[in-house]
Amino acid sequence: MQKRKLGKNNLEVSALGLGCMGMSFSYGPPKDKQEMNSLLRTAVERGITFFDTAEVYGAFTNEELVGEALAPFREKVVIATKFGFKIDPATGKQAGLDSRPEHIKEVADASLKRLKTDVIDLFYQHRVDPNVPIEDVAGAVKDLIQQGKVKHFGLSEAGVQTIRRAHAVQSVTALQSEYSLWWRKPEAEVLPALEELGIGLVPYSPLGKGFLTGKMDENTKFGSTDFRSTLPRFTPEALKANQAVVDLLGKIAKQKGATPAQIALAWLLAQKPWIVPIPGTTKLSRLDENIGSVEIKLTSDDLREIDSAASKITVEGDRYPEHLQRMTGL
């Protein structure tokens, strides 16, 4: 597995990470713990060293799963987790944002226990909290870094001004944001700012929450525990309209003897050397398919062809309902 460096802070990880959220949360009922344990350990054997979780996934159960599975390999792997939500203790559900410095420090201590570790490699603010100055957030993480509890500071879904203000207080190693062939807004302002500041990008949903794999169409049904059932971009009408993006990936995939998912990931990897996508999966076959994308080389002609075709496609549907859209900086 190739390695990449996230930003200028010398955080080296596998070129592809593994998003762990869907093992416990959001994409239907939680998966079998033993199976997921085995999948996580197989990912390490396949060369993946970068694993993404958060306290809110579950809540809490995903961190426990990741911590237990990766304990034997702790020195070899980089674990990223996140703070920034209030979690209702009675229901385990999100109950708004909370990035007060004292809360950040409480979350860090709790996450360290669940992850069975004495240091968090990368600690992201999950969503920007409008009620807490970003300088206070960065200062709290700086304290945790000085105490040896955290190695690197990250932001998620933050806009350029927020990134700059945070970075001035505590160097930001990585920004995690949605980025893929069907959500390219970060290219306008965010990517140039990250390049200037020396910050890595970790695209989540690099396969468009599964859509870019080519395995769904307008007849796909999502269960009530699958959060895609609430997303405007996953209505039957939007899925039908957006099929053009998958058709484009399928065409390039045929030429390369690859799958649409592999082309979607290879396209991201080709954008910048400091981009590390974190596709999530709960299936070994998909893990291997995703890892295969690292070996696919898209030429400058391939990239021009994809860009030219993609520029003619208008993606239908917002990526989040309005109340969640407000939590993003884009």
Could you tell me the pTM of the whole model?
0.94
Q: Which of 57, 179, 204, 320 is catalytic?
A: 57
What is the DSSP secondary structure assignment for residue 282, as one 8-state letter? S
Query: Across the chain, how many H-helices and E-strands are there?
Result: 12, 11
Q: DSSP secondary-structure letter at 253?
A: H
Query: Could you confirm whether 204 is annotated as catalytic?
Result: no
- CB atoms near residue 66 (< 10 Å): 30
Per-residue pLDDT of the chain (330 residues; tens, 9 = 90+): 999 999 899 899 999 999 999 999 888 788 999 999 999 999 999 999 999 999 999 889 999 999 999 999 999 999 999 999 999 887 888 789 999 999 999 999 999 999 999 999 999 999 999 999 999 999 999 999 999 999 999 999 999 999 999 999 999 999 999 999 989 999 999 999 999 999 999 999 999 998 999 888 888 998 888 889 888 888 999 889 889 889 999 999 999 999 999 999 999 999 999 999 999 999 999 999 999 999 999 999 999 999 888 888 888 888 877 777 677 765
Contact 186, 180 (CB under 8 A): no
What number of other Cβ atoms are within 10 A of residue 254's Cβ?
A: 12
CATH number of 3-209+272-296: 3.20.20.100
* Residue ranges covered by each domain of the chain: 3-209+272-296
Q: Please report, to the nearest 10 degrees, the dihedral formed by the alpha carbons of residues 303, 307, 310, 311 taken in order.
A: 180
Local structure of residue 313 (DSSP, 8 states): P
DSSP string, 174-199: EEEEE-BTTB-GGGTTHHHHHHHHT-
Q: Is the peptide bond before 15 cis (omega within 30 degrees of 0)?
A: no
